[in-house]
Amino acid sequence: MWVLFAHAAKYALILMLVLSCLTACGQSVTPETSTDAAATASNQFMPQKVAPEAPISELEWENYKFPLLALNEEKGLYLYGVWPRGVVLYTGNTGQFFDWGFDSPRRFYPKIFTGDFDKDGDADVAISVYAKSGTGLSVEDLHLLKKVIDSYGWHYSDYAVSEDALEAQLQENITYRFHEHSISLLYNGAEQIFSVAEYTANPQEPVTLSGVNYTNIISYEQEGDQIIASFGAGFTAKEYAAPTFFATVRAAVQFMNSGIRLKDIQIQPIDSDSP
């Protein structure tokens, strides 16, 4: 659900009204409807609260009711968190709520990407949000935001990239083979062989391999006008509760009307000591 609103101060974002409007059929709200709420939001949203390169401390994060999570000053894009769940993307004089989680134990910041990612001639916004963490799990969600004109003016339509679609494409494009002490990954006619013993705690213990998956670890970065996805290739085995990661797979994410396609796939070994 989304909601549009205007404000008097350039950097004041009226989230108190946004939250109350989430149950009000998406009606637009202006500061005049509640000056107290506007003043409260103005005090909470200080543009100097810029996301540093490394996550700030938990205590400092929670001192801000609406923490600034990411920004692109050149494009005028500011992404704020809304406790306990949700974000508001502020573009110019327009803010829009998205029901995305943003908090996690490791507390990585979202990333804002801009460019013509679907090659339709229009500028796009894409945002990656840290979504899942745990043992053998570190996943960012990617959202492509496209501007849609409507009776209110415009809003963003959210196209979320599905983990299932990513996994299916990687399984379709990359073939794996198990050998007695190694795994082969085959892509585009090339074969790379990885030693299983190198990535196990005890090289002498038997390992019963059962499969390879790619979407327990997902991250995104922008390179030029492309978004590059990185995946952790992990083998599953009867002896281990979680996948054991042995390679990194990188691919460009191509957005199309029918969905997404991974192209220019590259497979690289990883250091067995990497987290």
Q: What is the pLDDT of residues 132-154, one digit of tens each?
A: 888 888 999 999 999 988 887 88
Q: List CB contacts of 29: < 8 A, sequence separation 6 or more.
A: 3, 5, 14, 17, 18, 21
Q: What percent of the chain has pLDDT over 90?
A: 40
Q: What is the pLDDT of residues 165-210, one digit of tens each?
A: 999 999 999 999 988 788 999 998 889 999 887 777 777 777 788 8
Instruction: Say if residues 255 and 180 touch (Cβ distance below 8 Å).
Output: no
Predicted local confidence at residue 57, as pLDDT:
59
CB 194 within 8 A of CB 207: no
Cβ 18 vs Cβ 2: under 8 Å: no
Contact 126, 227 (CB under 8 A): yes
Q: What percent of the chain lies above the pLDDT cut of 70? A: 75
Task: Give the pLDDT of residue 61.
Answer: 63
Prediction pTM value: 0.76
Q: What is the pLDDT of residues 200-218, one digit of tens each?
A: 777 777 778 889 999 999 9
Q: How confident is the model at residue 271 (pLDDT cuts 50, 70, 90)?
A: low
Question: Mean of the pLDDT values across residues 234-243?
Answer: 85
- Banded pLDDT at 14 (limits 50, 70, 90): very low
pLDDT digits (tens, 9 = 90+) for 43-79: 344 333 444 444 455 556 666 777 888 889 899 999 9
Residues 6+ apart with CB under 8 A from 105: 133
Nearest to 86 by CA among 106, 66, 59, 112: 66
The predicted pLDDT at position 47 comes to: 39
When mean pLDDT is compared across 29-38, 55-64, 117-126, 251-260, the lowest value belongs to 29-38
The residue-averaged pLDDT of 104-128 equals 90
Average pLDDT of the chain is 77
Confidence of residue 116 (pLDDT cuts 50, 70, 90): very high
Q: Which residue has the higher pLDDT, 34 or 159?
A: 159
